[in-house]
Amino acid sequence: MKTLIQIVIPVFAATLLAGCTSANYQKGSATGAGLQDSADRMHQGAVKIDTTLTNLNDMVNNPGDLAAQFKKYTASVADLESSAKNVEGKVASMRGKGNEYFNAWDAQTAQIKNEDIKQRSAARKAEMQHKFTDIRMNYTKATEQFKPFLADLKDIQTALATDLTVGGVNSIKGAADKANKDAVPLKATIEDLAGQFKDLGVAMQTGTPQAPPPATQSAAQSAPPPATQPPPQPAAEAKQ
């Protein structure tokens, strides 16, 4: 006759194992949710690039109340930088959750006795981890593309903080033109990366697939008009 301990220990072990097994899909789902949230924030960042350039171009093309225009531009640069840091934090968190998920997947695959099921699970894990690694690398590339763009915007801000005059605004027109040109491939990279994050996030999400949201205007379609040469200033004003 089995003792109580002989009965309880196997049951407890089986329950613990089942709990660990069921919990790992939740890690995958959490990683998927993080990917989708990051994708949404990337799209918002692309829109904020447009807002920043719109404010910059308004100051270059239609100099009026320069103090008010500069204030709007400065606020939009700060908002863009904050958004980028927010995405960076989200991606770092997602990376940690993803690593935990794939490590646990390896451990659970090792427990599978049926070789066919084990091989299929291992292949599926390798496929998903490859995609996960790819988007991490693509995010790094996008970050390296974004850094000099933001640096130029902040340099324009620094220059105008000292020389907020019509002449000062004219002097940074070349930098404004460059920022508008650099934004085109940068936004394309961001939107493409956001799509990759969204697709993998949906693939890792537990639950019934949701219907895609209705089409909305993309950041590329809402791009601001490029900076143009400001109208000639009267001789007295140009000497400012």
Is pLDDT larger for residue 30 or for residue 190?
Answer: 190
**What mean pLDDT is predicted for residues 114-134?**
90
- From CA 80, how far away is CA 99, in angstroms rounded? 29
Q: Give the whole-angstrom CA distance, residue 40 versus residue 87.
A: 10
Please state the rounded mean pLDDT for residues 71-79.
96
pLDDT for residue 14:
37
pLDDT confidence of 90, banded at 50, 70, 90? confident
Sequence-separated (6 or more) residues with CB below 8 Å from residue 57: 176, 180, 224, 225, 226, 227
Predicted confidence at residue 225, as pLDDT, reads 57
What mean pLDDT comes out for the span 222-227?
A: 56
**Where does residue 59 rank: exposed (0-12), middle (13-18), buried (19+ CB within 10 A)?**
buried
Minimum mean pLDDT range among 53-62, 161-170, 218-227: 218-227
Q: Is the pLDDT of residue 20 over 80?
A: no
Q: What is the pLDDT of residue 219?
A: 47
Q: pLDDT at residue 178 above 80? A: yes
CATH number of 29-205: 1.20.120
Report the predicted TM-score, pTM, of the whole model to 2 decimal places: 0.72
| pLDDT for the residue 229 | 53
The residue among 36 and 53 whose pLDDT is bigger is: 53
Cα 105–Cα 108–Cα 99 angle in degrees, nearest 5: 25
Instruction: Give the SS3 label for residue 113.
Output: coil
The residues near 208 (Cβ < 8 Å, ≥ 6 apart) are none
Percent of all residues in the chain with a pLDDT value above 70, rounded to a whole number: 76
Q: When comparing pLDDT for 180 and 215, which is higher?
A: 180
Average pLDDT across the chain, whole number: 80
